[in-house]
Amino acid sequence: MKKVLALAAVAEAATGLALLVIPSLVGQLLLGTELNGVSIPVARVAGIALLSLGLACWPGIKSTRAAWAAISTYNLLVALYLLYLGIQGKWVGVLLWPVAALHVVLTTLLARARPAARLANGSNNKASE
């Protein structure tokens, strides 16, 4: 089971990374046609999600830490990418800036929550010893 999970995690993370870096080529190889236009940013957000899923299932990572790493990675990378799209000005819908801001806030909250969660887990572990 662990080997299959590890294989799936690596495959999803690699696919996600490929969608981030070369989305058009991935589209060509998977779907037989190059991605263009608005499908490029959509593919990159999907790539971020796959990369985060791969991290969540990465072998040797405890589930709470893996979930935190995955959702933090997703929110940080989506926030940065949406901000990049907004600054570039090519694809800016009415919800782009509010959603980018939401992801920045979530990333900040997750970053601030991690030390608190670590302290809470540490105190629980000591109490159970």
Instruction: Give residue limits of the domains in the chain.
Output: 2-128
pTM of the predicted structure, to 2 decimals? 0.71
Which residue in 98, 89, 112 sits closest to 41, CA to CA?
A: 89
For 110-119, the pLDDT digits (tens) are 888 875 555 5
In the chain, pLDDT over 70 holds for what percent of residues?
Answer: 85
Helices (H) and strands (E) in the chain, counts: 5, 0
Give the position of tokens 């629980």: 124
